[in-house]
Structure 1
């Protein structure tokens, strides 16, 4: 039983880490795009709305797709006034209950509340009102992708904390074994 839970925890976390690593390339594209906008605008006097909007799309995608990766690496913002003094078992309880009663319900609510908004955008094939990029509905779809990815990692975190409470030795978040995917 423990071995099966550990294998699923590692697979889910491996998926999240792979997604995060792929998403990291968006940061490079964002920097290159921003440099291009600056050179075109201030060096050549050329403005391009579509190029500028693409930077907004990249910025949004970078954050929306990397949130689960941040959770997997345990790099999210945490107020550790008390948490840092807790034993590993106490931390596992806090994380398990927080994931179960806060993270997962928020993911469900975010998905549910965004669904009509995103579907409406797809139905209209929404485009930019400024003559920029025509794919606004794709950007809005990230409102559904974000809670889905975060839920996948939330389940991995539930498994990890459950295994900790069961006494199973686990790798630290920074050394998740993602091989084998």
Structure 2
């Protein structure tokens, strides 16, 4: 099970190591757009949409890694003051009853839209934009799958390693 968790973590790490470069590229493209518009009077809808595509890709595909390194948004009302065993229980509850089911529901309900978008190769958001909305919509199921995989990895680790304090609380 440890090897499976390591493999799933590796998926998140590899994905993050690829998409992190989009942050730099996004800054450079946005800088070029601003210089082009205000210095040379040139504007490109496709270039502007490319920033939107890169931003969406960075955040949607980087979500699994964010969960892996524990930098996701957490509501610390109960978690901050909980014992290690209490935190473990909150994490298990959150993964099994909140995160995984919500990602599966999102995947289920978004799939028809993604499928239809691919069927017609859905065109640009704006006239003159990037003719690949179907790729943008594909980020939704990719996001769901990457988060579910990372959640499974974290669940495996939660069940494999039980804190010493948990034994004392039991």
TM-score by length of structure 2 reads 0.91
Whether 2:12 is the aligned partner of 1:16: answer yes
Q: Which has the higher contact order (CA 8 A, sep 6+)?
A: 1
Q: Kindly report structure 1 stretches of 4+ aligned residues shifted beyond 6 Å.
A: none
Partner of 1:27: 23
1:166 deviation in Å? 7.7
Q: Secondary structure at the match of 2:62?
A: helix
CA distance in 2, matches of 1:62, 1:156: 21
Q: Which residue of the partner structure matches residue 66 of structure 1?
A: 62
- TM-score (norm: length of structure 1): 0.86
The answer to whether the 8 Å contact 1:61/1:142 transfers is yes
Instruction: Summarize the alignment of residues 4-153 of structure 1 with structure 2, pairs less than 5 Å apart.
Output: 5-128=1-124, 129-153=126-150
Does 85-94 or 117-126 show the bigger shift? 85-94
Q: RMSD across aligned C-alpha pairs, in angstroms?
A: 1.3
Q: Tell me the CA shift for residue 82 of structure 1.
A: 2.4
Query: How many residues matched?
Result: 163
Residue 85 of structure 1 and its aligned partner are, at CA, apart by 2.1
User: Per-residue deviation at 1:163?
Assistant: 1.4
Partner of 2:153: 156
Paired residues of 1:12 and 1:156 also in contact (CA < 8 A) = yes
Rounded to whole Å, the distance in 1 between the matches of 2:77 and 2:148 is: 26
Spell out, residue by residue over 1:119-171, the C-alpha distance to the aligned partner (whole angstroms, 9 max, x if none).
Answer: 1111111111412111110111101100010111011011011112386xxxx
